[in-house]
Structure 1
Amino acid sequence: MAADGGSRRRIPVAVLAGDGIGREVMPPALEVVETVGTRFGFDVDWVEYPWSCDYYTKTGAMMPSDGIDRLAEQDAILLGAVGDPSLPDHVSLWGLLIPIRRAFDQYINLRPAKLLPGVESPLRHSDRGIDILVVRENSEGEYSEVGGRVFPGTPQEFAVQEAIFTRRGIERVVKFAADLARTRERRLISATKSNGIIHSMTFWDEVFGQVMAEYPDVEGRLMHVDALAARFVSHPHELDVVVGSNLFGDILTDIGAVIVGSMGMAPSANLNPEGVHPSMFEPVHGSAPDIAGAGVANPIGQIWSAAMMLDHLGEAESAAAILDAIHAVLGESDIRTPDLGGSATTAEVAAAVQQALAAQERTPGA
């Protein structure tokens, strides 16, 4: 549907291209958003920030002291990738990503694992389809800051890392997942390990059962995370919506990305579902320093993440148009970056997506 003659919506979005291939895949994503904005009647005001590992090297911080306040002024955050092999991983994670997620109560990490047309999965029998939606608790669990190290550098040195689970935290992530399941196949699996983790995981299981009692129309099931990981590989076509703790969700979503063809295509959303704070959208491929600068990074993960952002912001038609364009490129052409077995460049894939979007406008009824 084209824009009418009324006033156009303006959407302020913070852009953090970050490091490595993040700087290469971000421009195509911004261009795609601008293309659908022109077609569907909205404009995005990009507010770009240089916060990254390079910024850290120059300043000693991943972002300035007022960084959260600046981001709070935007409707959403579009992130490329952060990480530099010359720095420990925790620098970028705890200096930028986790502070953003927690300051804005982005307690849902949503990651689709969907096998797109024309993409080959490394699994046999993938013709039965893969369409899994993983809901990861994103604010507490195993990734807490509670703990420490004692007697460092001595034979008696030890480390303590506390996992924090709250009733509120579990309830809200399970309810979000159950609501999603209602829009799909009405099946929800909860990743657990209560046979070995006696306190936190039995608590998780109890709260999961209590919440699911409110959803009699959704089939809720507990599955030990190790068995569930195997299920991702052996029977992914049987999985619908999966909910898990911070650590379990993190691991399962990487498996999900690989079985649908490439980490380079995997999008994600860090959501504050109530919209009180901005949500953040990012591909999960990382900064990929081994190919940074070569011009062959797959831009689809970043473009797909931008589509998830538009959908969250209420621009569902534009998000659907982007996904249709991605489907057309992968399903109707042989244009592929090397991670998918092709030889196309980042720019060539981005151009193909733009051409697919243009073709939609030329199609009657599009």
Structure 2
Amino acid sequence: MSVITVIPGDGIGPEVIEQAMLTLDRLQLGLEFDVLDHVNADTFLRTGVALCDEDFERVRSSRSVLLGAIGDPRVGSPAYGRGVLLRLRFELDLYVNHRPAKLLHDRLSPLRADSARAVDCIVIRENTEGLYTGAGGSVHPGSEHEIALDVDLSTYHGTARIVEYAFSIARREVCMVDKANAVEFGGGLWQRCWRAAAARHPDKASRHLYVDAAAMQMVTDPTGFDVIVTNNSYGDILSDIASAVAGGIGTAASANLNPERGFGLYEPVHGSAPDIAGKDIANPVGAILSAGLLIGDLGHHEAAAALRAAISQAVAAGETTPDLGGSLDTRGAGEAIRARL
């Protein structure tokens, strides 16, 4: 039996994670859930601790993590998000952020051209380096002489392994995205690691784009992409663009992985969405697709494929929440998917 740590989190997180758990239960895969429903903003506001060491060890000892969302407008400090999500990513060395984007139905695409709608790509984002490490500082904070410094950190080890992972999963091509024409040193390191990996994988096509050009191509013809690999901040932005052209952020799934250890943290991309929390209109598709990534990585490939098919069928039938054009509430949208399993 595989133990899965579940952190429902904040906002709509508990609503969509409930549907993901019900769907996994329907598949009868022998999963056991260890639910940490106290890891949320309420606990942080009361205690000042986002994720205590005891809870972190429960996560570490499990097989994988299913996370709903982290974020609450009552928390003014970045310490909360860093103490949960970034702590898990950094301390468990979940260096791969794996974000697939595949259009579920033509009517969901904001793109006008029919030929540009068949989006089916993966954005691979380096997850433990870049601008999100917290390296940097501030001099004279709060004054008109303030100097703020954020360090965009890249290492050979981190860059080489993320580029190698991208080539290992590519079906036909890897597109490496950087801004080496303006960011000389980090860009140069990414360029060298990319060329070395391309030489080791002559069976895969390879190309390079600057991040501004990649963003333009993502909104004009995203069908040209197979796998994109890039750094933490560029990947954060490009993966959200990919989600938007593939039907909306409510359908976006992601996995934070350490492939060598076989450990992953799986979460919908949409965040806590406090403006719709408690209204029972949150879209559960991103959470359920994230659960599908989880079981696929556990080796339940047929069940994961069946889950994706059930979601596509429900979306095609219009049995969705309002953001996808339907009229169902969160539970109803989850039931529509489960009815097709």
**TM-score range normalised by the length of the shorter chain:** over 0.9
User: 2:196 aligned with 1:210, yes or no?
Assistant: yes
Identify which of 301, 325, 328 aligns with 1:344: 328
| Deviation string, structure 1 residues 68-106 (Cα, Å, up to 9, x no partner) | 212111000000011111213623321100100111110
Gaps of 5+ in 1: 1-9, 358-366
**Residue 45 (str. 1) matches residue 32 (str. 2):** yes
CA distance in 1, matches of 2:8, 2:149: 34
User: Partner residue of 2:339?
Assistant: 355
Structure-to-structure mapping, 1:106-255, within 5 angstroms: 106-117=94-105, 119-128=107-116, 129-181=118-170, 184=171, 186-255=172-241
Measure, in 1, the Cα distance between the counterparts of 2:143 and 2:105: 56
1:26 pairs with 2:17: yes
What value does the CA root-mean-square deviation take over the aligned residues?
Answer: 1.3
Identity %: 38
Q: What's 1:76 paired with? A: 64
2:243 to 246, 253, 257: 257
Per-residue CA deviations over 1:300-358 (Å, capped at 9, x if unaligned) read: 10000001000111111111111111111112x1212111122211111111111101x
Rg comparison, structure with higher value: 1
Contact 1:119 1:330 (8 Å CA) reproduced: no
For the 8 Å contact 2:108–2:248, the answer to whether it is kept is no
2:47 matches 1:59: yes
Partner Cα separation in structure 1 for residue 330 and residue 14 of structure 2: 11
What SS does structure 1 have at the residue aligned with 2:306?
A: helix
Unaligned runs of 5+ residues in structure 2 are none
The answer on 1:318 being equivalent to 2:281 is: no
Secondary structure in 1 aligned to 2:276? coil
Given residue 328 of structure 1, which amino acid in structure 2 is its aligned partner? Q
Separation in structure 2 between the aligned mates of residue 280 and residue 329 of structure 1, nearest angstrom: 26
Amino acid at match of 1:85: P
Distance 2:128 2:77 in 1: 19
Q: Once the two structures are superposed, what CA deviation does each residue of 1:3-32 show, in whole Å capped at 9, x if it has no partner?
A: xxxxxxx11000000011101011111011
C-alpha distance in 1 between matches for 2:107 and 2:63: 33
TM-score of the superposed pair, with normalisation by structure 1 = 0.90
Aligned length: 339
Q: Which moves more between the two structures, 49-58 or 293-302? A: 49-58
Residues 141, 246 of structure 1: 8 Å contact kept: yes
